[in-house]
């Protein structure tokens, strides 16, 4: 660049002196001019910031660390750039300990990254990096026109040395440390795989791959068609997790794919992989499902007069069910095509299945239709059948159905004087019912001409107990009439109660008997007041009923009411009825007397007996007894148990051995009616002797002096002890 200038001189001693201005001249760029910037450059450049280091993809020979930093601002002097270069320095120790080496230089200020390749054999070393900036002071700083600002005159120390910035704390990395490991092992048919296909999510055009790692890593699956040289595609999930699942989409049906899974830890420092192209290839094979329509237009189509059912199968793929159809005439297709099935207007709530069945309704009788089957899976992949045809029938009464059947109608819809007859039709028809009291003779009709597929006709003013025979019929919009077969029902008789009476009455019980005109269950409510409070029922159905009421009180009036219910739930109750139990003036009846004689031991001096019995009503418990035979006196008795029971037990102790005893039972009921039972006898056992006693007895009988042995030993003992 060429510069021009002029000089202006000002007078400042004499106020009247004029200013002097030279003419315009050209600068001689080879001559140092007064006023030029001749100061040496000693200012350091800006220190590079945001220095980061991370590991990137490695290969079998080398690992690579990428160092990045923020580009520094351009420092200028007199309009010229002051930047010379970046220098990248590396320690082979962590945290900058030891001596650093300059491994790279970048002369472009915008070139703010460097890839450091390291041999695999040295990957386990701790490295740390820093970056500095250097200016160009050592070039004798010039203007932009290359004119020298200051020459080397030796007057300024280090005038031509470059200025270097400071640096941040070195950033460490160990590319071989904490490499993630795929820990999953899926045993499938005896083979262990590092990654597998989730079968429930394997579809026609998508599939999910899962695996696990020992540390949080990202998830990547690279894939292509098996056996091809196609470019690999990838599906990536940057979330750092241990349990990985990646879903591949836009796949082709019935195609095998080769793939590998890749996991990298933070900050993408180390990588591990398995599958195609990796050192570990053990991943489960992937093949998408085959999605085709299997359909036979002859055996899989059922046509009636106005309806047609089309069935097909889609193998292992669940999908929706749609049939597109159109009326065909001799002149060609008629009108627009229509669609029937689960997908037609069903939105997202479509039923997905592998076995498909679609009912097409509202067809014309005796007509030919074309149709195409269409199925779409959960991934919105659609397959179509070829063009097919079906023919509707001219007439078909078999599509007319009665619901429920005759027996269900009799149990659920028939009353004594009315009946509701319900049936369904495959297409909308009118609703008419012809009926009468003789088979094949229908002299009455009921119904309406509204079009429905669910029909209800109510018959009124029936005669209870009569059997009615009927047929139902209806016409559709094409004036085709359908008629059912003959059915029958019997109008129900309401239950009635007759001959209610007390068939058997005791002091403490009563039996209620009554009859019904139909089979019915029964319940008898009873109590001392008309509100009852107690009851006895039977769930079996019968026409002759008998119910026994127990645990009553004597000399008491009771109210009772009979209720019955037939099999249809019709219930009826009798009026309030009463009965009175007679006062009890007889003593308890003693029954089932049992005597148990307890055996005597060698140490027992007396015998014992257990006497038990029952009474027909609650009573007290006591016996009177004495030694001797029947007919003697009763000088002894047990302690009376005044509580009222029907089961009684008395234990008699201190009886003489080998003795005969007689006793009778004394029981009183709550009204002090007393019973003395007949006389009973028993014999107590003989006291048993020990073996030693038997031996001594035998010696006494043989040697008379043996009987004196106790007295002899007693005297001897007294002499020894001095007593």
The confidence score (pLDDT) of residue 267 equals: 56
pLDDT value, residue 279: 83
H or E stretch at 406 = helix 406-412
Q: Which residue has the tokens 């509204």?
A: 450
φ/ψ of 551, rounded to 5, equals 60, 35
Of 366, 365, 370, 367, nearest in space to 326 by CA = 370
Q: Kindly give the parts of the chain with pLDDT less than 70.
A: 1-41, 57-60, 77-80, 94-96, 137-161, 176-178, 266-269, 343-350, 395-413, 478-481, 688-723
Is the whole model's pTM more than 0.75, yes or no?
no
pLDDT tens readout for residues 100-133: 999 999 999 999 999 998 887 887 788 889 999 9
Question: How confident is the model over 641-655, as pLDDT tens digits?
Answer: 999 999 999 999 999
Q: How far is it, in rounded angstroms, from Cα 656 to Cα 120?
A: 112
SS3 state at 614: strand
CA-based radius of gyration for the chain: 59
With H, G, I as helix, E, B as strand and everything else as coil, classify residue 15.
coil
Residue 292: how many other CB atoms lie within 10 Å: 16
Third-level CATH fold of 590-683:
Immunoglobulin-like (2.60.40)
The domain defined by 52-173 folds into Immunoglobulin-like (2.60.40)
Residue environment code for 366-399, b if the CB has 16+ CB neighbours within 10 A, otherwise e = ebebebbbbbbbbbebebebeebebebbeebeee
Nearest to 132 by CA among 90, 93, 165, 171: 165
CB atoms within 10 A of CB 567: 14
**Start-to-end CA span in the chain (Å):** 159
Whether the Cβ atoms of residue 561 and residue 577 lie closer than 8 Å to each other: yes
In this prediction, residue 347 carries a pLDDT of: 46
Backbone angles phi, psi at 122, to 5 degrees: -110, 15
Give strand ranges (E) for 136-232. Answer: 171-173, 186-188, 191-193, 196-197, 207-225
Cα 222 to Cα 231: distance, rounded to the nearest angstrom: 10
Domain boundaries, the chain: 52-173, 186-287, 301-391, 397-490, 497-580, 590-683, 691-721
- Pairwise CA distance, residues 504 & 512, whole Å: 7
CATH topology for 397-490? Immunoglobulin-like (2.60.40)
Q: What is the pLDDT of residue 317?
A: 93
Pick the CATH number of 301-391 from 2.60.40.1150, 3.60.15.10, 2.60.40.10, 3.30.465.10: 2.60.40.10
What is the pLDDT at residue 95? 61
The yes-or-no answer to whether 497-580 and 590-683 have a common fold is: yes
- Fold held by 497-580: Immunoglobulin-like (2.60.40)
CB 493, CB 464: distance < 8 Å: yes
26 φ, ψ to 5°? -105, 135
d(CA 672, CA 666) in angstroms, rounded, equals 11
Strands 607-621 and 590-598: antiparallel
Contact indicator for 654, 620 with CB cutoff of 8 Å:
no
- Quickly name the fold that domain 186-287 has: Immunoglobulin-like (2.60.40)
């Amino acid at each position: 660049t060429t510069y021009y200038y002029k000089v202006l001189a000002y007078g400042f001693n004499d106020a009247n002196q004029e200013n002097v201005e030279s003419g315009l001249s050209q600068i001689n760029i080879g001559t140092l001019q007064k006023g030029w910037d001749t100061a040496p450059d000693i200012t350091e450049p800006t220190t590079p910031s945001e220095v980061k280091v991370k590991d990137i993809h490695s290969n079998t020979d080398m690992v690579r660390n990428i160092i990045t930093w923020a580009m520094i601002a351009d420092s200028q002097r007199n309009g010229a750039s002051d930047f010379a270069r970046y220098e990248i320095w590396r320690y082979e120790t962590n945290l900058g300990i030891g001596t650093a080496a300059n491994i790279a230089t970048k002369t472009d200020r915008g070139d703010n990254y460097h890839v450091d390749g390291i041999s695999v054999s040295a990957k386990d070393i701790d490295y740390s990096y820093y970056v500095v900036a250097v200016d160009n002071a050592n070039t004798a700083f010039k203007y932009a026109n290359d004119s020298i600002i200051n020459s080397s005159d030796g007057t300024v120390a280090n005038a031509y040395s470059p200025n270097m910035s400071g640096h941040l704390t070195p950033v460490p990395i160990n590319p071989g440390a904490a490499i993630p490991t795929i820990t999953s092992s899926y045993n499938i048919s005896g083979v262990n795989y590092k990654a597998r296909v989730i079968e429930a999510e394997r579809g026609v055009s998508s599939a999910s791959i899962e695996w696990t790692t020992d540390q949080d890593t990202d998830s990547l699956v690279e894939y292509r068609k098996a056996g091809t040289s196609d470019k690999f595609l990838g599906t990536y999930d940057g979330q750092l997790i241990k349990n990985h699942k990646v879903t591949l989409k836009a796949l082709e049906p019935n195609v095998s794919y080769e793939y590998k899974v890749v996991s990298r830890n933070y900050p993408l420092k180390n990588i591990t992989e398995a599958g195609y192209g990796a050192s570990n290839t053990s991943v489960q094979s992937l093949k998408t499902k085959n999605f085709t329509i299997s359909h036979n237009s002859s055996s899989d189509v059922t046509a009636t007069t106005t309806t047609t059912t089309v069935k097909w199968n889609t193998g292992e793929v669940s999908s929706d069910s749609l049939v597109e159809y159109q009326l065909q005439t001799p002149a060609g297709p008629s009108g627009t095509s229509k669609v029937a099935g689960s997908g037609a207007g069903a939105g997202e709530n479509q039923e997905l299945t592998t076995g498909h069945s679609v009912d097409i309704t509202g067809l014309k009788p005796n007509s030919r239709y074309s149709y195409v089957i269409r199925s779409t899976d959960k991934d919105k992949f659609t397959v179509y059948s070829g063009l097919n045809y079906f023919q509707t029938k001219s007439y078909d009464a078999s599509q007319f159905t009665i619901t429920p059947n005759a027996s269900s109608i009799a149990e659920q819809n028939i009353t004594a004087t009315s009946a509701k007859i319900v049936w369904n039709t495959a297409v909308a028809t009118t609703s008419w019912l012809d009926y009468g009291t003789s088979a094949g003779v229908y002299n009455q009709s009921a119904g309406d001409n509204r079009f429905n597929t669910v029909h209800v006709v109510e018959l009124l003013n029936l005669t209870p107990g009569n059997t009615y025979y009927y047929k139902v019929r209806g016409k559709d919009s094409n004036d085709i009439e359908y008629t059912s077969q003959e059915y029958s029902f019997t109008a129900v008789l309401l239950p009635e109660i007759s001959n209610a009476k007390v068939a058997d009455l005791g002091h403490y019980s009563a039996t209620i008997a009554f009859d019904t005109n139909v089979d019915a269950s029964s319940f008898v409510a009873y109590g001392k007041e008309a509100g009852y409070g107690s009851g006895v029922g039977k769930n079996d159905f019968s026409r002759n009923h008998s119910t026994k009421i127990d645990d009553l009180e004597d000399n008491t009036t009771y109210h009772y009411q009979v209720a019955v219910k037939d099999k249809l739930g019709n219930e009826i109750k009798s009026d309030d009825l009463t009965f009175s139990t007679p006062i009890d003036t007889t003593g308890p009846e003693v029954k089932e007397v049992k005597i148990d004689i307890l055996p005597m031991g060698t140490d027992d001096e007396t015998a014992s007996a257990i006497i038990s019995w029952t009474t027909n009503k609650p009573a007290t418990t006591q016996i009177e007894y004495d030694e001797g035979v029947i007919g003697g006196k009763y000088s002894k008795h047990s302690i009376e148990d005044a509580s009222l029971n029907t089961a009684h037990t008395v234990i008699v102790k201190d009886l003489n051995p080998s003795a005969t005893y007689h006793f009778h039972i004394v029981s009183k009921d709550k009204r002090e009616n007393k019973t003395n039972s007949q006389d009973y006898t028993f014999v107590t056992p003989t006291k048993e002797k020990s073996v030693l006693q038997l031996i001594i007895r035998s010696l006494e009988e043989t040697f008379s002096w043996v009987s004196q042995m106790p007295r002899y030993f007693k005297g001897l003992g007294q002499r020894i002890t001095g007593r």
